[in-house]
Amino acid sequence: MAAKKSIQRQGFKTGEHVVYPAHGVGQIVDIEQQEIAGFALELFVIDFAKDKMKLRVPVPKVTSVGMRKIAEAEEVAKSLKTVQGRARIKRTMWSRRAQEYDAKINSGDLIQIAEVVRDLFRSENQPEQSYSERQLYEAALERMARELSVVNRISETEAVNLIEENLAKGPRRGPKPEEQAQADGEGESEESDDENDSEEAAA
């Protein structure tokens, strides 16, 4: 049997991987024709193998639902740089922050997903995450890893390892911020004492 020719619509073609905001990375396996109320409608059939799910998206609606192509290499590099940054935690109630994290994960935007990974990451010497924090962190990590694995042509496990290596390069994730501030403060006072000594020696 001859290989199926790839069909292209709206800049997307069968066989390519895409990102659907609410579900992450999937693959366009077919473009179907359906008749609905007397109108012929074309639908992208997107397969999410990991979730054992197929989604049918009307071709004219791809823009409005936010479906996009897989990120370019530069975007992936930017996402890895993002997870190396300092966590930005808002001082709002957890329920509100959880909603914001969830919205970022389902935005389909790789950088926003990387921000959630960065903000919810905990190293071994940091306080444990709550169950809901852990769930959101793992959801964001999985979304990010799936896209990286497709772009870099590596396994998802290798993609997770790559993200975790970059998280480890972030600012000191050891002591809590208060302890760090105290340690920094002590360092500053020692330096100023040294300056005084040198001034006295000069006099």
The CATH number of residue 148's host domain is 1.20.58.1290
Asked whether residue 26 falls in the same domain as residue 79, the answer is no
Range of the domain at 21: 12-69
Backbone angles phi and psi of 32, in degrees to 5 = -100, 155
pLDDT confidence of residue 196: 39
Q: Identify which has the larger pLDDT, 62 or 198.
A: 62
Query: Residue 66 above 80 pLDDT?
Result: yes
Q: Are residues 159 and 81 in the same domain?
A: yes
The verdict on 77 and 161 lying in the same domain is yes
Residue 38, in any domain of the structure? yes
- Kindly indicate the confidence band of residue 30, based on its pLDDT and cuts at 50, 70 and 90: very high
Cβ atoms within 10 A of the Cβ of 156, count? 15
107 closest CA partner among 163, 26, 51, 23: 23
- Asked if 165 and 137 sit in the same domain, the reply is yes
Confidence of residue 200 (pLDDT cuts 50, 70, 90): very low
CATH number of the domain at 56, please: 2.40.10.170
Shared domain for 65 and 148, answered yes or no, is: no
- Indicate if 37 and 49 belong to the same structural domain: yes
How far is residue 178 from each of residues 120, 184, 185, measured CA to CA in Å? Answer: 18, 10, 10
Number of structural domains the chain divides into? 2
**Spatial CA neighbour of 29 closest among 60, 6, 1, 59:** 6
Same domain, 56 and 93: no
Contacts of 149 (CB under 8 A, 6+ apart): 155, 156, 158, 159
% of the chain beyond a pLDDT of 90: 69
184 phi and psi, to 5 degrees?
Answer: -65, -40
Residue 187: its pLDDT value, please? Answer: 38
User: Is 118 in a helix, a strand, or coil?
Assistant: helix
Q: What is the mean pLDDT of residues 30-56?
A: 92
Flag whether 94 is in a domain. yes
Same-domain status, 88 and 110: yes
Identify the pLDDT of residue 189.
Answer: 35
Closest CA to 101 of 127, 140, 75, 71: 140
End-to-end CA distance of the chain: 93
% of the chain surpassing 70 pLDDT:
82
Tell me if 184 is assigned to some domain. no
171 and 77 together in one domain: yes
Residue 6 lies in a domain: no
For residue 99, how far is the Cα from the chain centroid?
16
